């Protein structure tokens, strides 16, 4: 199975697609901090550079990438789903 996403840190809840991911595809990712592998079945198409959820993320829950809180889920995000502006609000730009 070819690697389709990278996970920056062990505590991250999302991986970043390094190739387009098809809906229903079983995809493998690599944790960059220790080289271990993780497999997820995609629930959506995830374009190159976008995020895929490695676990279920509840509405209102903070989303972790790079080992840091990067945003808040605006809807429940099932494991394997596309994570992007349609279901996460960036914490970088404040709460307005």
pLDDT tens digits, residue range 12-68? 999 999 999 999 999 999 999 999 999 999 999 999 999 999 999 999 999 999 999
pTM assigned to the model: 0.91
Residue with token string 């960036």: 90
The CATH number of 3-90 is which of 3.30.750.24, 2.170.120.20, 2.30.130.110, 2.40.50.100? 2.30.130.110
Rounded Cα–Cα distance for residues 11 and 24 (Å):
25
pLDDT at 6 over 80: yes
pLDDT at 58: 97
What average pLDDT does this structure show over 78-95? Answer: 86
The more confident residue out of 91 and 67 is: 67
Residue with token string 């404040």: 94
Answer positive or negative: Cα dihedral of 69, 11, 3, 57.
negative
Query: How do strand 26-31 and strand 3-7 relate by DSSP bridges?
Result: parallel
């Amino acid at each position: 199975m070819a690697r389709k996403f990278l996970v920056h840190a062990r505590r991250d809840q999302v991986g970043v697609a390094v190739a387009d991911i098809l809906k229903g595809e079983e995809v493998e990712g690599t944790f960059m901090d220790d080289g271990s592998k993780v497999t997820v079945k995609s629930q959506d198409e995830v374009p190159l550079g976008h995020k895929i959820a490695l676990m279920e993320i509840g509405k209102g829950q903070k989303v972790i990438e790079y080992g840091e809180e990067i945003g808040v889920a605006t809807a429940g995000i099932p494991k394997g789903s596309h994570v992007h502006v349609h279901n996460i609000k960036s914490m970088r730009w404040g709460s307005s």
